[in-house]
Amino acid sequence: MVTQTEKKTLTLFGSGFIGKVHIAGYNALPLCYPDSDRMVVLQNLITSRPDTPAAHLFKNSANDLDRVENTDFADICTPNYVHEDELKKLIGRGYKNIYCEKPLTGSYESEASMSKLMSEKRITNQVALVYRFLPAIIRGKRIFDEGIIGSLTHFDCNLYHGSYLNALKPMSWKLRKSTSGGGVLVDLGIHAIDALSYTAGDIEAASGYVKTFISKRPNGNSTENVDVDDFAHLDLLVGGARGTLEVSRITAGADGSLNINLYGTKGSLKISSAIPDYPLVYDGKSGSWQTASYYTFDDAENDIKNLWPSARSSLGTMQNMHTASIMCFVRRICGWQPSYLSPPAAPDSANTMKIIDAIYEKGYYKAL
């Protein structure tokens, strides 16, 4: 277990839903990691809502970065369309440690450029592609990498939500392409694509179908056209194997879990965020599906022990993923590195957006 008592000061952008999730993560660090002192000082909140209750948790609040002093690191939790400007401001101010919600900026071209700039400036960065921190994915990837299920033959992946099924849900920035960069394929697809490619290997080719089922939303006393997708289906090629990936924000009865099913020449893996600790494995030896708790690898287990909140301090799977991701970044800027896990950074977000942009623009993607 890593012991860390060094305190780092934070500037956080945004006080909406995801901003509150991040704030809860920082405040949970002493609860979830009892070996650590309070690691983060909530110094500056940059928000357009000066009356937000979240402001009382910070030493300072302002509507612009220029009105506060620099801190040890920054966290961007604002709508997609302002990420790029905020990143440029932080880099201009000399920040060397930046954590950012997904997507990094929202288009491949700008993300590739930002990734290059961050590399040139030697900025430690991390993007909140938080499913990588799910123990079932860490363990599942380790089992897959070990060759226990053999070569991949086929696969499927899905992430279904029902959060926008109600046609009376009003317009928001997530429902406008100019502010979101895309619909469900950006909002949820970026998670599913990253988690699948991280676990099973790079996506070599893709073709896709996107659909807007609810084309108008209430906006005040009138309605507004929706120009982003509610549902997306992709046919993918990974390691020579074919499979599918689907994401939706309009699935009735959906539990919101990410599911990855990998089928190989020696066995199969089922990974689900609904069962966050272990994947299910069919390894051919037992002839049945079993919880993969009997496969243990020290490097993967070490990362889980250092990052995933224990059962006694769990705040629920979604919050746990964000808290583990935040903890990873804070420990990294204090000098720690994971043994096996690859923390998601700017190039990972850019690579995922390259696929998403290609599907939107051409309907297909092929890796060079």
Could you name the CATH architecture of 8-130? 3-Layer(aba) Sandwich (3.40)
Q: Return the beta strands (E) in 82-131 as ranges.
A: 97-100, 124-127
Per-residue model confidence (pLDDT) at position 50: 83
Domain 8-130 and domain 135-297+345-366 have a common topology: no
Using one digit for the tens of pLDDT, what is the confidence trace for 103-124?
999 999 999 999 999 999 999 9
Domain coordinates of the chain in residue numbers?
8-130, 135-297+345-366
The single residue listed with the structure tokens 């056209």 is 225
pLDDT of residue 1: 45
Amino acid making up residue 207: S
Residue 2: predicted pLDDT? 47
**Answer CATH for 135-297+345-366 from 3.30.360.10, 1.20.120.1200, 3.90.190.20, 3.40.50.300:** 3.30.360.10
With H, G, I as helix, E, B as strand and everything else as coil, classify residue 49: coil
* DSSP secondary structure, 295-335, as one string: ---HHHHHHHHHHSPPGGG---HHHHHHHHHHHHHHHHHTT
Q: Which segments of the chain have a pLDDT < 50? A: 1-2
117-122 contact pairs (CB < 8 A, 24+): 117/91, 118/91, 118/346, 119/346, 121/91, 121/96, 122/96
CB 73 within 8 A of CB 315: no
CB 31 within 8 A of CB 313: yes
* Residue whose entry in the numeric block shows the structure tokens 């990972």: 348
